[in-house]
Structure 1
Amino acid sequence: MKPSRRTAGSTVLLLACALGTAACDSDPAPAAPPASPSAPSSAPAGPRTTTTFTSDRPLSADALDRAAEQLRHRAELIGLADPKVTTADGTLTLSVAGPVDGDRIAALAHRPVLELRPVLAAGTFGAAPADRTSGDVPAQWQDRFTALDCGTDHPTAAPPGAAAAPTAPGTETVACSSTDPAGLRQKFLLGPAALQGSDIAGSTAELDPNGAGWQVHLRFTPAGGTAFADLTGRISVLQEPANQLAVLVDGAVLSHPYVSQAITGGQAVVSGSFDEEEARELAAQLATPALPADLRPGSTTTIGSTTTAAP
């Protein structure tokens, strides 16, 4: 699944037009347009990839129709050609033109958990002779912070023996960053989430005109923009590491930039290690409403080819 790939490299959050280096009230660079679905009369010839999704619970006809439209729209946003969704017997079947990787299809049903949290303490996992820690770790968090193992390919916020259930947004948590060029990972004690996915009014995948690569541009709701300005203003006057803002997707820290001033404008840009596919995928997941139920993809089959893949 792509969420793990997104943490594979260093990612930088360019907060609201790079901390004042550009006009924060200016319009974002135009997004590279997603591939539009073709009209039925001009549907692309050749193989089509098909996946059937089943719900974790019974859905009404209306909910099933909404789920079908959301799947189709997400497929369109990430650039899949000629997406069509049909429903039958409580299942949804997605068909797109051309061969498509099963992981990419399965990701359409995923709703990433986005959180922005203040950093309370940070440590370098794997540093010799022992982990280096900055900031104060409260006594009630010391054991969990110390036990946090960031040495796996897919670090988790749950230390050995702990449940992997998501942490409640209103409580502190511990989490790992991605690997840095030296092969080390940061681990963090983080404060309660100040912003979540519900604070996002829109998101688009864009190719930075200055050569920084693919980015995901976030536009906050009015309430989210106010909370973002308040948060950045509050932490900008604190000492390191408490002047860092952690951006988490599905419990993993994608970035933890330093903040030097309150940031207004209601926008942020996540940039760095995305390729086009990853940027479009995350933007599409954040830009569309949550599905009415969890959908489980079946095997992915490409008709007109010999490809069959399980997600």
Structure 2
Amino acid sequence: MSKNLTIKTVLVALVIIAALVCLVPTLGGKIPTWAESILPTEKIHLGLDLQGGMHLVLEVDVEKAVAAQVERNSQDLRREMQEERIRATRPEAGKGNTITLTLLSTKDQGKFDDLIKTQFSDYTLGTATSAEEGKVTYTLTLIPKAVAHIEEMAALQALEKIRNRVDEFGVAEPEIMPQADGRIMIQLPGIKDPQRAVALIGKTAQLTFKLVDDALSSGNPTKATLPPGTELNYEYRKDRASGRVSKTPIVLRKRALMTGDTITDAKVRTDSQFGTPYVSVSFDSRGARQFADLTSRNIKKRLAIVLDGKVQSAPVIQDAITGGQAVITGQFTMAEAKDLAVVLRSGALPAPVRILEERTVGPSLGQDSINQGLLSMVVGFGLVIVFVIVYYQISGLVANVALILNVFLIGAALAAFQASLTLPGIAGIILTIGMAVDANVLIFERIREELRLGKTPAAAIEAGYGKATLTILDANVTTLIAAVVLFQFGTGPIRGFAVTLSIGILSSLFTAIVVTKLIFEIALSKFSFKKLSI
């Protein structure tokens, strides 16, 4: 055997060994501990249609995201006017993305106009309306371009935060894709607790800290009797013995003293006295200063911790808290506390989300899909093998060895890159088998032509591969480009098909051109036969 042939044999053997190593976990073997850091340790992931799971389509309520931004801008405007000593009523966010306020003196109109132009350029300043006693009323309207930008950013932020939550939830190979009109498509293969996943993904997780008005809370407050600047909420308590949940009305100041946007970490802790779980949150430097200032100015007052409009707890501030941490207690189970920590770490959604479509694929249906898909692959593979052997005789056996190795390499690549195998992916493998046979057909027909011209088997094989290779490359490269485009712009099943097709094209080129030729060359060097069975 020549040196060049030995090198090619060693390289092909190394590829086969590497593929076998990648498939060890899928075939039921175990990777040694020392090799876990450098070798794949997981089986081939199955897609939603094969192992079951959950399919969700969410819609981000972008209108509320815009309304929330307008509300924040109204608070920012109030602070800026206080710094500029502009006397006015409290800016109020209203319908139509507007902010309304009344200047208490016409003397402040110039400073107010300059403030809007420099600090709030996303708003158009409506015509001033004269009020009583020299007062002037203004209406600011958010411009359409700013509205569109806020809506776009809300959808993108929601997508990123949902992706972070799903990653922490521990779902293998989730599919999270943006769609038109602020919608998000989510596929969670192999999910075991669909309802918990829905609750985790859909929780807005808007955390606010508000002061409790104990004087109003002690009576029998109703919404009709509350003064401006306050709101009615409820504090829920669960009796440990009976399990009954009671709610107590509690009056809060509407203005949030602090929000949860400065949270950097959230961890589950357990109360040493009762063993109940709670969530400890940490703030960044800005949040730590805000919380220290908040607690130092409101000692002996109750501070309500409100999550998505529901009071979780309302402890009394005993002293200034300067460590940059806070505790959220409530009637949590351990799973609820863990999920709350996940959503607080990933951050609040910029707006609520609505579930437009929810579909669960059971594992039994997934197993049926696996069985039918594998059956179709086995039948198609078997028919191809029989045809190749009948038509090309012993050379057909060489082609079939390459076909088997081709499927083997596709599986190894899926395991190595942790790509998901889907039902359309199985269809891609079947198509690859057909394309691989097509490559061998081109080569073998070229070899037959050379043999008819009277060339020796060695010369015919060399000429046949040389003339067919360029044609095979042209056909496969164009198909590979189409597969890459499908993967880039497709979703779900289309991407699953594109993945296996792309991998299959590359592996079929390797097996059809390199491996089969190597087998012929080894046979010629060993046996020097004068007639080729083809």
Shorter-chain TM range is: 0.5 to 0.7
Q: Does 1:105 align with 2:191?
A: no
Matched residue, 1:78: 169
Does residue 1:121 correspond to 2:210, yes or no? no
| 1:142-157 equivalence runs, <5 A | 146-147=221-222
State the AA in 1 paired with 2:247: R
> 1:224-254 CA distances to partner (integer Å, 9 max, x unpaired)?
2122222222322x4xxxx222111122221
Matched residue, 1:52: 57
**Residue 175 of structure 1 corresponds to which residue in structure 2?**
233
Question: In 2, distance between residues paired with 1:281 and 1:82?
Answer: 20
Greater Rg by CA:
2
Preserved contact between residue 208 and residue 259 of structure 2 (Cα < 8 Å): yes
Displacement of 1:267 in angstroms is 0.4
Mapping for residues 132-281 of structure 1, pairs under 5 Å: 132-133=218-219, 146-147=221-222, 159=223, 171-179=229-237, 181=239, 185-191=247-253, 192-204=255-267, 206-208=268-270, 210=272, 212-236=275-299, 238=300, 243-281=301-339
Query: Structure 1 residues 275 and 48 mapped into 2: Cα distance closer, same or farther (>3 Å)?
Result: same
**Structure 2 Cα separation of the partners of residues 88 and 39 of structure 1:** 31
TM-score by length of 2: 0.37
Residue 193 of structure 1 aligns to a residue whose secondary structure is: coil
Q: Which structure 2 residue ranges, 5 or more long, are not aligned?
A: 1-40, 63-147, 366-534
Of the structure 1 ranges 56-65 and 96-105, higher mean CA displacement relative to structure 2 is found in 56-65
Structure ranking higher in helix proportion:
2
| CA positional deviation for 1:115 | 1.4
Tell me which amino acid in the other structure corresponds to 2:359: T
- Aligned residue number for residue 165 of structure 1: none
Shift of 1:197: 1.9
CA contact (8 A) 1:106 1:297 kept: no
Q: How far did residue 218 of structure 1 move?
A: 1.0
SS in 2 for 1:253: strand
Q: Structure 1 residues 270 and 39, CA, compared in 2 at 3 Å: closer, same or farther?
A: farther
Q: Deviations over 1:197-242 (max 9, x none)?
A: 22323323x2438473332221112222122222222322x4xxxx
Q: Deviations over 1:34-82 (max 9, x none)?
A: xxxx978445973222112234469999876654443221122234454
Structure with greater strand percent: 1
TM-score for both structures, normalised by structure 1: 0.59
Q: Is the 8 A contact 1:49 1:99 kept in 2?
A: no
3-state secondary structure, aligned to 1:53: strand
1:50 & 1:282 partners in 2: Cα distance?
A: 22
Matches within 5 A, 1:272-311: 272-291=330-349, 294-305=352-363
Is the aligned partner of 1:93 residue 2:164? Answer: no
**Residue 18 (structure 1) aligns with:** none
RMSD between aligned alpha carbons?
3.8
In structure 2, relative to structure 1, the CA distance for the partners of 1:255 and 1:54 (3 Å cut) is closer
Name the count of aligned residue pairs: 228
Instruction: Tell me if structure 2 keeps the 8 A contact 1:113–1:197.
Output: yes
Deviations 1:103-141 (A, max 9, x none): 6325413322211122221577xxxxxxx54xxxxxxxx
Tell me: CA distance 1:215–1:83, structure 2 relative to 1, closer, same or farther (3 Å).
Answer: farther
Contiguous gaps of at least 5 residues in structure 1: 1-37, 125-131, 134-144, 148-158, 163-167
Correspondence for 1:136: none
Helix, strand or coil at the partner of 1:146: coil
Displacement of 1:265 in angstroms is 0.3
2:312–2:330 CA contact under 8 A, matched in 1? no
Question: Could you say if the C-alpha distance between residues 54 and 114 of structure 1 is closer, same or farther in structure 2, counting changes exceeding 3 Å?
Answer: closer
The question of whether the paired residues in 1 share the 8 Å contact of 2:236 and 2:245 is answered with no
State the AA in 2 paired with 1:117: K
Which deviates more from structure 2 when the two are superposed, residues 276-285 or residues 177-186?
Answer: 177-186
Change beyond 3 A, Cα 1:212–1:296: same
In structure 1, C-alpha distance between the alignment counterparts of 2:317 and 2:246, rounded to whole Å: 23
